[in-house]
Amino acid sequence: MTLFNLARKNLQRNFSSYFLYIASMVFSIVIYFTFVTLKYNDDISALTGTSQKISSMMSASSVILLFFIVVFIAYSNSFFMKKRKKEVALYSLLGVRKQQIGLMLFFENLFIGLVSLVAGIAIGFLMSKVLLTILVRLMGYSLTAGFVFSSEAVINTVIVFLILFIFTSLQGYRVIYQFKLIDLFHAEKQGEAMPKASILSAIIGVLSVSAGYYLALEDIMTSMWWRILSIAMPIVIIGLTVFGTYLLFHSVSVFALQAMKKMHSFSWKGLNLITTSQLLYRIRGNAKSLTVIAVLSATTITAGGAVFGLYYNIDKSINDNTPVTFMWEGEPLEVPQVNTHHTLATKLVTFTHNESERQYQVLPLATYNELAQEQGKAKITTMATNEGVLLDPYYDERFSDKLTGADFTANVPLHLTSQETYAVTNMMTTGPMIIVNEQTYEALEGEATTYQAYTLQDDADGLAISRELDSQLTEAQQDFTSQPAAYEEIMSAMGAMLFVGSFLGLVFLTATGSIIYFKIVSEAEADKDKYTILYKIGVNDAQMLKTISAQVGIIFGAPLAAGLLHATFALLGFSNLLGMSITKPVLVWMAAYIAIYGLYYIFTTRAFYKIVKNARGNA
């Protein structure tokens, strides 16, 4: 039998152990292949009209994804090598040379990689229609994409992953040269170091995470810490949070479990004493792994929640700043499907306030009320002479004080009774406006300006009409703004970002779930004899499943809880920075993450229980 055939038979025999790893690899390759296909595909670029944006985004995403896959494969291989070291030692005892064993392990890893690569590209092509349809729908186009095949994408994917698989396969070849025979036999008993918990490290951990949260909520414009640390602030926040998370698992969790163990009402109930004892070892001995998983979860939830939050608020953002379908300065044009048309007469007035000059477009009250009524905004019923209301949706209290109550002077004085953060005109055309009554408007001296404002009966043809109008405008007709064009531009960019972010998040999630699975299953294999003893002293299947579920649940739940908490504070800081509510989309994103993560918990618990039951049957 050749070494390649032996490697193939080993894989067939251990397929159940490798299944989740192969599935995660295939999914990663599918997403990578999709990203690269989008990068090279001209049809999709022409369809959306955002060729450069998509190409750049997919290139960057492919690099991020590839880096993560390298880390995931290296991490996963370390578990498989640990599990196989006893088998390797047996081959050595039987007289098989190290070179031959190394080649066998090399072929096994390479075979897994090739199978994953072929399956990933095939599934990627078969799913291209669905994935690309999702992309164009997220970008706001009501279109269905066809199957897409790119030879450049295939070549790119094959070359990149072949190099990656050959490199990682060499790990299997090298491993037998790095250990003595006795080390290989005891490999399964070797875990991560078990650091001793201390009160000092526990306090430092809590303070470190708290400091990270505090800095994350600091306002970027007003915070003393942002002024001191500048661009280093995000690095400091991440460093404090990661370091604190490690200490939480290293020490704080140990104190919590020890306290539970000392509570007789809890520990003497059922198998709780055994569960807490096992968890004391597991959490303390795996502090590094749990920290990595918590950080990965936090990164995935934060990035996905931020992008989904921005996508969710697109309509509000567009309507706040561009409430009119089409608007420009100058003479009117023939616009089809018009619902309303207003010719707005304004004055560009230079005001003086606190010895500084400011220019604002001034709009008569009657015109404002017409626009406000059409847009469903508050009308101003009365306004005294020499009083005004400032409309500025761009206002941010972090940059300047509110001008309510301010006194402006031009050729006549003007007292601002209110400053509102909404608009009735397109801000990119008119800028902030001051509303005054007819008498004040007539008295003010300024440069007369005429704007055209149109709304349509049916927005379905808005983009086509927008492009036609844009081509007809002359130099005398300036500052053209289009709600459909703005919507398309923002929607296409954010839709592509949501597509990339969602699938990168799924890859990170599947890899994270797989890492926990490998970790727990390898520990179950190492400890199965202990559980067999429990069966012998009278523990039944229901009790065993309960204690296994509790142990696995805490190993899964602890990093998830930490990740969710980290992401919550990061997203609160992001929301405060933008002045935008993203609560609903973030909760949806978190719920989806928890649901998929929960499936890995169920899958891992069943695998753990199956190992223990099989061990009892073989005892």
Q: Which tops the pLDDT comparison, 272 or 349?
A: 349
Q: Check residue 179 and give its pLDDT.
A: 59
Cβ density class 16-28: b for 16+ within 10 Å, e for less: ebbebbbebbbbb
CB 532 within 8 A of CB 619: yes
Q: How confident is the model at residue 195 (pLDDT cuts 50, 70, 90)?
A: very low
Query: Closest Cα to residue 43, out of 126, 140, 116, 128?
Result: 128
**Which ranges constitute the DSSP H helices of 179-313?**
181-185, 199-216, 224-229, 233-247, 253-262, 264-267, 272-285, 287-312
Question: What are the structure tokens assigned to 178, written together?
Answer: 């790095």
SS3 402: coil
The Cα 490–Cα 458 span in angstroms is 21
Cβ density class 351-382: b for 16+ within 10 Å, e for less: beeeeeeeebbbbbbebbbbbbebeebeeeee
Q: How confident is the model at residue 606 (pLDDT cuts 50, 70, 90)?
A: very high
**408 φ, ψ to 5°?**
-100, 155
SS3 319: helix
Query: Closest Cα to residue 526, out of 291, 260, 285, 249?
Result: 285
Mean pLDDT of 49-75: 76
Q: How confident is the model at residue 105 (pLDDT cuts 50, 70, 90)?
A: confident
Mean pLDDT of 197-210: 87
CB 71 within 8 A of CB 25: no
CB 388 within 8 A of CB 438: no
**Which ranges constitute the DSSP H helices of 94-180?**
98-126, 128-138, 151-175
Instruction: Express each pLDDT in 282-323 by its tens digit.
Output: 666 677 888 888 999 999 999 999 999 999 999 988 999 999
**Is residue 143's pLDDT more than 80?**
no
Q: How many CA atoms lie less than 13 Å away from 5 in the CB half-sphere?
A: 2
Mean pLDDT of 108-118: 87
Q: Check residue 508 and give its pLDDT.
A: 87
CB 335 within 8 A of CB 465: yes
Q: Which of 118-127, 132-141, 425-434 comes out lowest in average pLDDT?
A: 132-141
**Is residue 267's pLDDT more than 60?**
no
Beta bridge partners of 436: 364
Question: What are the structure tokens assigned to 11, written together?
Answer: 């894989």
Within 8 A by CB and 6+ apart from 192, the residues are 285, 286, 287, 288, 289
What percentage of the chain has pLDDT greater than the value 90? Answer: 34
CB 240 within 8 A of CB 212: yes
Instruction: Express each pLDDT in 160-185 by its tens digit.
Output: 999 888 887 777 667 666 656 555 55
Q: Average pLDDT, whole number, for the chain?
A: 83
Q: Check residue 225 and give its pLDDT.
A: 78
Query: Closest Cα to residue 18, out of 76, 60, 99?
Result: 76
Q: Which of 142-146, 235-239, 358-362, 511-515 comes out lowest in average pLDDT?
A: 142-146
Q: Check residue 194 and give its pLDDT.
A: 46
Mean pLDDT of 192-206: 73
Q: Check residue 196 and give its pLDDT.
A: 61
